[in-house]
A and B are shown apart, each in its own frame.
Chain A
């Protein structure tokens, strides 16, 4: 249970290898959604509850849905999955083997005295809390400070979104 964060990060890399080996985009979208879920659980394990919720709502629930039906519009009749064809399967296996060998190499560094990526002390994993998990969660307070210290940033971001929508309309209009 102490190594849950490391295991989740290894699963994240494997999910990223899954869509970087370029199968058909509908399967790539599936791998990205699974990677997003794993990444959200990583964020939750470090106490970032609001950030995990943001990622689920905005990223997976907004952008991936748009990706899903855009991909459904521009897809061929027989999409190639990870098992069909040697290129995608080869890329996936090379990526997974790279990750497994990296994890085994890092695990074997336990007995070194001075090492950058040491694995032996638990002090790496413990996140100290001052007063326990109280009523004020750090990430929601920090993101709420966007509207206090970052007033101008909110105005700029809102204007960027508005101009972005206008750019999208002009691109799609064509002719």
Chain B
């Protein structure tokens, strides 16, 4: 079981690296953020099942609620960027030149 935990933590780290590097699209980083939330959900559910502690199952549900909020706000920002610039290319966000 420790190997499964290791793989899930590895998946979280890979998603984190994917979120921190930009290529051309902004929505790809939001997708990696969703991947991070999903790996955290899986990890918390496995811990709740394997330690036979059912009350911990509250935590993934609440994590899902707040991840949904975060997705909504991220997509709203994406939509407003896409309305201003046509596409969500990262090199369009160049107002701050320092």
Contact = CB atoms under 8 A, between A and B. Distances in A.
Interface of A: 5-6, 9-10, 12-13, 16-17, 19-25, 28-29, 32, 35-36, 39, 42-43, 46-48, 50-51, 54-55, 58-59, 62-64, 66-67, 70-71, 73-74, 76, 87, 95, 99, 102, 106, 116-119, 124-125, 127, 138-139, 141-143, 145-146, 149-150, 153, 157, 160-161, 164-165, 167-168, 171-172, 174
Contacts of B14: 13, 16-17, 20, 95
Contacts, number: 209
Contacts of A127: 49-50
Given A17-B14, A62-B68, A139 B76 contact: no
A143 B58 contact: yes
Interface residues of B, number: 62
Interface of B: 1-4, 6-8, 10-11, 14-15, 17-18, 21, 23, 25, 27-28, 30-32, 34-35, 38-39, 41-42, 45-46, 48-50, 52-58, 60-62, 64-69, 71-73, 75-80, 82-84, 87-88
